[in-house]
Amino acid sequence: MSVLVTGASGLLGGAVARELASRGHEVRSFQRRPAELPGVEDAPGSVTDTDAVRRAVAGMDAVVHLAAKVSLAGDPAEFSAVNVEGTRRLIAEAARAGVRRFVHISSPSVAHAGMSIAGDDARPADPAHARGDYARTKAIAERLALAADSPGFAVVAVRPHLVWGPGDTQLVARIVQRAAAGRLPLIGSGAALIDTTYLDNAATAIAAALDRAEDVHGQAYVVTNGEPRPVAEMLAGICRAAGVRSPSRHVRAGLARSAGAAVEAVWRVRPGADEPPMTRFLAEQLSTSHWFDQRRTRADLQWTPAVSLDEGLRRLAAAYRTAR
């Protein structure tokens, strides 16, 4: 099968492109800068450029769409241009080109309204109550994708939750950097249970969704390791793997949310070079439970995670030792 993978220069996109190539698919990557992955054809471009999208989807049997603007803050217009209009453009051009399978990579944040999630399946995407511009625009994009599902154009939405692994310059790197600098407090008690997903597991789940698309089309699936752990324990595991001190200072959840609101207000006027140190969404994510029932995901996709969290942490520690 010929498969276009958008966003393959990112951590998860690259892992997905490599996984599909290893399974014998002909893989083309599409993103703003070359992905330079072995056995993968590069087609640089942006989902905001109709001509580039049209060239990228030409001759493809399937699309796995990961390209997105991912940030805790930023210009709302940029989130809409990439996450909403980019998805709309890609769907239209893919359908016009005769693509038969479309796997849309979404996020559990599309159905998170700030309260704890304990053992739920994938709730409907809810732009009106999603927290922040990223989640809101991803919710709209998921709705657009699933609305395009039709005979001959099988659409599946996959929501990997908190993907991490060696080489992660986003989640893992920021946890480690802030912990090393003494700027990573525990929000609330640190006892809230959270699901995460090891990188290799997320990639194989997405590959499984592509394989099963014509049988499970029109559905949304949350993907996790299925091993919920207290947030303090998960942060400590990542910090130990990197050789930095685990966070021990606690900040009340209400105070963190208020601080996040204040930081967001400042960031809108004078955005910093990096991600804001706190937002309301981040405070909620660190102080509320969010773990998911994986039974439907595993049964429908005929998939199970191969790498446990403990094994993932051992691999992360080995990567840090090698880097040192």
Catalytic residues: 134
* CA angle centred on 127, ends 122 and 132, rounded to 5°: 105
* CA angle centred on 236, ends 298 and 7, rounded to 5°: 50
Separation between Cα atoms, residue 12 and residue 17, nearest integer Å: 9
Residue 182 CA: distances (Å) to CA of 10, 175, 223, 231, 258: 28, 10, 32, 17, 21
Per the structure block, which two tokens stand in for 68?
A: 């997105």
Per the structure block, which two tokens stand in for 235?
A: 């942060």
321: three-class secondary structure by DSSP: helix
Q: Are 153 and 91 in contact (CB under 8 A)?
A: no
Q: Are 178 and 184 in contact (CB under 8 A)?
A: yes
* CA angle centred on 198, ends 85 and 23, rounded to 5°: 75
260: three-class secondary structure by DSSP: helix
